[in-house]
Amino acid sequence: MLTDFSHQYLEGLNVADFRPRPKVSGRLASYDGLLMEAVGLQLPVGTVCSVGAAGGDQVEAEIIGFRAGRTLLMNLGGPAALLPNAPVRPIGPPGEAEVGAALLGRVVDGAGKPIDGLGAIRGAGRWPLAGKLQSPLDRGRVLEPMDVGVRAINGLLTVGQGQRLGIMAGSGVGKSVLLGMMVRAAEADVVVIGLIGERSREVADFLETKVAGEARKRSVVVAVPANHSPVLRIRGALRATAIAESFRAEGKKVLLIMDSLTRVAHAGREIGLALGEPASARGYPPSAIAMLPSLIERAGTCVSSGGSITAIYTVLADGDDGNDPVVDSARSILDGHIVLSRQLAERGVYPAIDLGPSVSRVMTDIVGKAHVHAARVLRRHLATYEENRDLVLMGAYRAGADAAIDNAIACHPAIMEYIRQDADQSVSLADSVAELTGVFGDG
């Protein structure tokens, strides 16, 4: 009996491809609550490690760089009672996200773990967090309009399938409300929502009010609130984009919502400053701003699969400054931007879209000439009225002195009525165009 057991045991060990692998481990040399330094590790950037003794307090951290022979890690979890020389061991390879139809209707965090209480995600595929590099010629043109249910956007800032659009405004002007209006009415096969760096309360509110009912079944939500690690916030943005890319590769029309791009840049700023990068404008190190193009450029249309990612990013203008580094950088990369005005919001105009600085760079390629003409007429009347608004309100302007101003004054109530829309109301693209051309088509 013992002989048979020994023979079977030895046969089990006789595996042709057996390769002994050493157990990689390092030691914690420095920790200030966020940034860690470890010695004795040789692992690539992006590797997730476990820090702490087995059976004691442990925390996960991600390798973000190297300095003077030490490995730099960023804390992914909360505070932990770590001791000097605590063991540091790798637990996960860098850079892959779970993707596919198994994620539809689910809510995950920045690490890809489900937080909706519906159990583990099974049957998901894999996709690189950093995406798959494409040639510029693999990207198709934006040629078809997309109905977003907001009359002012459908008519005056028409969005195309595969366009990258920014919603820019200061705090509390209505970016999230406008996003919700667009999510409910958008014609897309899949909606991927990245709630990055926002309030924890907004996550549940967004799920219950913006993507409730049938919309929830075709949505994937990646939620990383503001109190999470900056590495997790960046991973959340990368994960949401990777999920959208995988659906696009299947030929589907994807709507990617990211709220907000500025919080991703803030996370990059925290990491860059922790690594010792020099701060430039508004305290942003160069790496934080340079990260935005690599994230935004991953959206768009794909010639080979026929799918598209229509991406809408909210951009917080700190202090209502339109020249904020993040706002300025995003504006130069995106295919269009919608600027929300605090002055319009204070006058009770919702959505508070400031048409003057707002633009859709693909609108002339996806709509007819009559539509473009009517939109330009409305813009011209609105610009004329705003330029002479103070004169009109003070009574300094005499009617009949200028025909353009007279026309602008006469059309102003119709313009404001066209822009205004209740948050729970949806206006189709066809109705938006018909109303616009009906009133301003002969201007």
Whether 329 and 191 map to the same domain: the answer is: yes
Residue 301: predicted pLDDT = 93
Joined tokens for residue 62: 């991600």
Whether 74 and 164 map to the same domain: the answer is: no
> Within a 10 A sphere around the Cβ of 73, how many other Cβ atoms?
29
Please give the torsion angle defined by the CA atoms of residues 381, 384, 389 and 392, in that order, rounded to the nearest 10 degrees. Answer: -80
Residue 4: predicted pLDDT = 60
Whether 175 and 260 map to the same domain: the answer is: yes
Per the prediction, the chain carries an average pLDDT of: 87
Q: Greater confidence, 432 or 320? A: 432
**Which one, of 355, 298, 311, 361, lies nearest residue 335 by Cα?**
361
Q: Packing angle between helix 286-296 and helix 230-249, nearest 10 degrees?
A: 20
Residue 22: predicted pLDDT = 63
- CATH, residue 437: 1.20.1270.330
Whether 79 and 111 map to the same domain: the answer is: no
Q: Are 260 and 244 in contact (CB under 8 A)?
A: no
Residue 381: pLDDT above 90? Answer: yes
Query: Among 50, 72, 90, where does a domain finish?
Result: 90
Whether 190 and 215 map to the same domain: the answer is: yes
Residues 66-111: pLDDT tens digits? 988 899 998 887 777 888 899 999 987 777 889 999 999 999 998 8
Residue 222: pLDDT above 60? Answer: yes
- In the chain, the amino acid numbered 14 is N
Whether 197 and 222 map to the same domain: the answer is: yes
Q: Are 421 and 149 in contact (CB under 8 A)?
A: no
Whether 260 and 383 map to the same domain: the answer is: no
Whether 269 and 385 map to the same domain: the answer is: no
Query: Among 336, 363, 390, where does a domain finish?
Result: 363
**The most confident of 94-108, 131-145, 200-214, 243-257, by mean pLDDT:** 243-257
Whether 268 and 285 map to the same domain: the answer is: yes
User: Span 196-215, mean pLDDT?
Assistant: 81
Residue 21: predicted pLDDT = 60
Q: How confident is the model at residue 180 (pLDDT cuts 50, 70, 90)?
A: confident
**Which one, of 329, 355, 332, 330, lies nearest residue 344 by Cα?**
355
Query: Among 90, 105, 136, where does a domain finish?
Result: 90
Percent of the chain at pLDDT above 90?
44
- CATH, residue 147: 3.40.50.12240
Residues 127-175: pLDDT tens digits? 988 888 788 888 888 989 999 999 999 999 999 999 999 999 888 888 8
Domain count, the chain: 3
Residue 13: pLDDT above 60? Answer: no
Give the C-alpha separation, 147 to 186, whole Å.
Answer: 6
- CATH, residue 73: 2.40.10.170
* Domain span holding position 148: 96-363
Give the C-alpha separation, 87 to 199, whole Å.
Answer: 34
Antiparallel, parallel or unpaired: β 336-339 and 359-360? antiparallel
Whether 78 and 132 map to the same domain: the answer is: no
